[in-house]
Chains A and B, each alone.
Chain A
């Protein structure tokens, strides 16, 4: 292994790792709102809107992220949707994770014991109040882990946006290999950086989960 080279390229890779973190965190942030929107649409009375939301979720879950990315980036311009690579990475990421997250949110809301709702209703709370004071706070702590897993998948998938030439960690690594011909060293370094990012995120998720559920620890 060429350690001198590894030391030399590390700053460049770290800078690219920030792009990975930036794209992913923005996708997760906006994805959360997409997810809440999808959950909300599925509670509406008007059936076609519910079908639309369900259909959207099914399509996203039934197609590879890679294809979604290519479709929007290369197919988008022919219907007037022209996005620069970074924006495209964020938008596709957000709409992708949003679909999965909406399922996680719905699942956690449904897994709050119905007795909770009945107790609140029996005290005189309305539907919205019951959702707001009783169900959502409990669902929120339940969904931390499942949403966290999705966030990690998204960070790993963000390497795919290299295909539309976003200079994130994987793209930068490939570029450096093009000029140095040292794939082992450079991919090892970039793999290490993914590990650091992902385990940091896992740690945050675990802390948040423990904090949110501290009331259940006996």
Chain B
């Protein structure tokens, strides 16, 4: 009964979310559900609100209207103020890993310290246990031998893999990827995609913003096309990428193909 209930609760739920920057409405009523163990990709032109949506999920952007739920718990809490909300959101965020386009590794710490800082300071893990956990995560992304190196010594692809390991070390319920490979030289994209594929194999729940169309098609269970702050179309990836219903989706994919020749 309880397991049934668990599988029934979506891992992430976004309901009628609106977000404005001043007069500019960037999200105009977004709905989205990510079920446990599923992978959802979001594609769309630049400026369509993909990053804002992803950042709203862990409250890096504060939404103006709507509801966001993580595993049944409401993330945005307009009723909560000050320190109470701080505590609430810090706790929520421990369960959501986020990977940024520009990695945002902590340059003043070694790779392993990047990975273990949060488990040590936020979960009170002792140094030895944290190092073990950190090495495990670095092995997972194939970078155990770089544990004691500073991030600036790593290639872009390696940096992003460390950033993924850093997020994984908190054992998140969901991973959010915001164009994780966009800042990389083309030859470094595949190593990061490889890591993301291995997470998919482990049934990690993921919400991925990307413009790697073939990767998104391969890896995801569901795909969304966003434009102008709305979800224009969503479907199984095979359909969305090869036979979309909407004119706008077709145009976008067409343009994207041309640009990547």
Known: A124-B93, A138-B107. A218 touches B152 (CB 8 A): yes
Contact indicator B117/A133 (Cβ below 8 Å): yes
| Interface assignment of A113: CB less than 8 Å from any CB of chain B | yes
Contact indicator A126/B152 (Cβ below 8 Å): no
Q: How far is the CA of A120 from the CA of B93 in the complex (A)?
A: 10
Known: A118-B100, A118-B104, A215-B150. A124 touches B86 (CB 8 A): no
Q: How far is the CA of A124 from the CA of B172 in the complex (A)?
A: 11
| Interface assignment of A127: CB less than 8 Å from any CB of chain B | yes
Q: Inside 8 A of A179's CB, which chain B residues have their CB?
A: none
Q: Count of chain A residues with Cβ under 8 Å from any Cβ of B?
A: 23
- Quick one: CB contact mask for B109-125 with A, threshold 8 Å, 1 for yes? 00000000110011000
| Interface assignment of A137: CB less than 8 Å from any CB of chain B | yes
Q: Inside 8 A of B207's CB, which chain A residues have their CB?
A: none
- Quick one: CB contact mask for A88-128 with B, threshold 8 Å, 1 for yes? 00000000000000000000000001011011111111110
Q: Which of A123, A127, A137, A217 has the most CB of B within 10 A?
A: A123
Q: Would you give the shortest CB distance from A88 to chain B, in whole angstroms?
A: 40
Known: A123-B118, A215-B150. A115 touches B104 (CB 8 A): yes
Contact indicator A116/B104 (Cβ below 8 Å): yes
Q: How far is the CA of A134 from the CA of B117 in the complex (A)?
A: 10
| Interface assignment of A25: CB less than 8 Å from any CB of chain B | no
| Interface assignment of A141: CB less than 8 Å from any CB of chain B | yes
Contact indicator B90/A124 (Cβ below 8 Å): yes
Which of B60, B91, B108, B170 interacts with A138 by CB under 8 Å?
B108
Contact indicator A122/B106 (Cβ below 8 Å): no
Which of A116, A125, A216 interacts with B122 by CB under 8 Å?
A125
B91 nearest CB neighbor, chain A only:
A124
Contact indicator A129/B152 (Cβ below 8 Å): no
B-binding residues in A (CB < 8 A): 113, 115-116, 118-127, 129, 133-134, 137-138, 141, 215-218
Closest 4 CB pairs of A and B: A124-B94, A119-B104, A122-B98, A115-B104
A-binding residues in B (CB < 8 A): 58, 60, 86, 90-94, 96-98, 100, 102, 104-108, 117-118, 121-122, 150-153, 163, 166-167, 170
